[in-house]
A and B are shown apart, each in its own frame.
Chain A
Amino acid sequence: MDIVWYLVLSALIFCIGAVGVLTRRSPLVVLICLELMLNAGNLALVAFARMTGTADGQIFALIVMIVAAAEVVIGLGVIVAMYRSRLPMDVDAMSELKR
């Protein structure tokens, strides 16, 4: 398959993830949709690595995966802390910084 198909697929997955981040309100689902967007970036990086024939892009993708793992750990920690302090599970209701 030509490289361009992989890139278009990655753009499509990125946009689906963006729809999820913008429309869903549960912080858990927003985190999962962020995962989608990061994975779309990964797919593009690996496709470019295949295109140039050097493995540098794969290293980038691996580092993105590690950063995503760190993001998940912190995000889930925040969600558990929210649940403990009985805050509403709704990203629109968490607006204290606006005031």
Chain B
Amino acid sequence: MEAVVFWFAAVLAVAGAIGVVLQRNPFYSVLALVVHLLALAVLFLLLRAEFLAAAQVIVYAGAVMVLYVFVVAYVGGLEAPLTEERPALRVLAVVFSGALLAELSVAIVGSGLKALDTHGADLEAGFGSPSQIGELFLTKFLIAFELVSLLLLIAAVGAIVLAGREREPEVKR
């Protein structure tokens, strides 16, 4: 049963990824990315990461993708050509990525990690639950948690500065 769910989600994730790259219209790319993210959430559930799967669906496939759709609608559906002008570059990119995939696969299989061919370690109850994630964030990873909140604040201010409408200089009376 687990294998069936895994292969279903894996094929869906790869199909979504290929759809993202091959769609001409950026709007369809965003929709393919949503499919891809939902399939990844299923894989996270298989890996016993409940909280992460929920966050993936709500934050990523929900909020972030809505942001993308808004910007695509604002900029307009540009029917971007798939780089027909320089086919050599395209072939080179595919060759490079194929080499990268081969190298990564060899590195993974040849890493000598003994647990790679197992289902993973035995888990205690509550693994990946919101309570465990929250406890780790506030104890072991407190500094990372604070830094990331600061980063989000900076990003929000930066977005307003970049995309905000130019203000009219105030008229002095």
Contacts and interface: CB of A to CB of B under 8 A. Distances in A.
B118 A3 contact: yes
B163 A46 contact: no
Interface in A35-59: 35-36, 39, 42-43, 46-47, 49-53, 55-56, 58-59
Interface string A8-28: 110111111111101111101
Nearest to A78: B162
A89 B78 CA distance: 9
Given A1-B3, A24-B80, A26-B78, A12 B52 contact: no
Q: For chain B, give the interface size range.
A: 35 or more
B43 to A, nearest CB: 6
Contacts of B33: 32, 35-36
A5 B133 CA distance: 25
Contact of B67 (A8, A49, A73): A73
Given A9-B13, A18-B100, A59 B141 contact: yes
Contact of A80 (B6, B83, B162): B162
B3 to A, nearest CB: 6
A55 B127 contact: yes
Interface residues of A, number: 65
A29 B29 CA distance: 7
Secondary structure dominating the interface of B: helix
A4 interface: yes
Given A9-B10, A56-B136, A80-B71, A2 B119 contact: yes
A76 interface: yes
A65 B151 contact: no
A23 B82 contact: yes
Interface in B72-115: 72, 74-75, 78, 80-83, 89-90, 93-94, 96-98, 100-101, 104-105, 108-109, 113, 115
A78 B129 CA distance: 37
B101 A11 contact: yes
B133 A58 contact: yes
